Structure 1
Amino acid sequence: MSREELQERVAEVLKLNRIGVLSTIKDNQPYARYMTFHHEGFTLFTPTAEDTHKVEDIEDNPHVHILLGYEERERGEAFLEIEAEAEIATNPDDRKKAWSEKVAEKYSGPEDDRFIVLICRPTVIRYRNDDELETPQEITL
């Protein structure tokens, strides 16, 4: 598969799947939780609250792992394994990228100090599709 085709397939999985699993590390133990992701290119944005363990975990260790996809679609059960470095968004424009109606139920607006957006910048994306590929295809960024 060409790099261009792989990037297109990765973009399709990102487009079709907004809910995924974000894993962090604390005290050498993994912690996973479901999150809602928005994306711009391959960069992922996910909203959370200021007083969550994941924010503390990321402040201590910014390396995260994300799983997105694995739903039956016309291409099979494609999913992504993403290794990324996460940071807390400080730019108001980045905070707006993860704003949604659901988030609006809890916060007064993207400027609300309790509203935190995590930016996850991938270093490696593995595209997996059990129907077509024997081994995962990988993009290193």
Structure 2
Amino acid sequence: MEQTEIKANIEKILDESHTGTMATIKGNKPHSRYMTFFHRGLKLFTPTHKDADKTEEIDNNPYTHIIIGYEGDGFGDAFVEYQGKVSFNQSEEMKKQLWNEDMKIYFDGPDDPNYLILEVEPVAIRLMNKKGEAPKDLKI
């Protein structure tokens, strides 16, 4: 599989799947949680509360591992393993772009001072389990 095909498959998964697990390090141990992801190209974005545990964990170690795309249909489901470096994006424009009404259970609106965007720059991306094929690494 060529790099352009691998990238297209990864972007298709990112287009269709918005929930995944995000792991950080808490007290020298892995700490995972489900998150909602949006993407622009291969860069991921996810909303969080500025006082969430993960913000302190990211301050201590900005690297993350994300799994996104597995649909639960069984063997052969493709998914993405994504390693990235996280930064805090407080751009008002980005917060408004990513805002949706489902977020009202956590925030008052896109101008809520507790609403923060985590921006994840890819370090390594791997396409996994594509119909039993070997993993395919995307060159970053």
TM-score w.r.t. structure 2 length?
Answer: 0.91
Per the TM alignment, residue 11 of structure 1 is displaced from its structure 2 partner at its CA by: 0.5
| Cα pair distance change 1:109/1:58, threshold 3 Å | same
Measured in 2, the distance between the counterparts of 1:27 and 1:105 equals 29
Write the mapping of 1:20-31 to structure 2, written as runs, cut at 5 A. 20-31=20-31
Q: Residue 79 of structure 2 contacts residue 130 of structure 2 at CA under 8 Å; is this kept in 1?
A: no
Partner of 2:95: 95
Moved over 4 A (4+): none
Partner of 2:84: 84
Q: Residue 18 of structure 1 contacts residue 36 of structure 1 at CA under 8 Å; is this kept in 2?
A: yes
Q: Residue 45 of structure 1 contacts residue 97 of structure 1 at CA under 8 Å; is this kept in 2?
A: no
Name structure 2 gaps, 5 residues minimum: none
Write the mapping of 1:30-109 to structure 2, written as runs, cut at 5 A. 30-71=30-71, 76-109=76-109
Q: Residue 23 of structure 1 contacts residue 31 of structure 1 at CA under 8 Å; is this kept in 2?
A: yes
Q: Residue 38 of structure 1 contacts residue 97 of structure 1 at CA under 8 Å; is this kept in 2?
A: no
For residues 86-116 of structure 1, what are the alpha-carbon distances to aligned partners after superposition, in whole Å with 9 as ceiling and x for unaligned?
Answer: 1111222222343111113432322211111
Measured in 2, the distance between the counterparts of 1:42 and 1:23 equals 18
TM-score w.r.t. structure 1 length?
Answer: 0.90
Measured in 2, the distance between the counterparts of 1:43 and 1:83 equals 11
Per the TM alignment, residue 119 of structure 1 is displaced from its structure 2 partner at its CA by: 0.7
Name structure 1 gaps, 5 residues minimum: none
Measured in 1, the distance between the counterparts of 2:130 and 2:88 equals 34
Measured in 2, the distance between the counterparts of 1:98 and 1:14 equals 15
Which amino acid in 1 is paired with 2:138? I
Identity of aligned residues (%): 35
Which amino acid in 2 is paired with 1:139? L
**Hey, which of these two has a bigger chunk of helix by percent?**
2
Partner of 1:9: 9
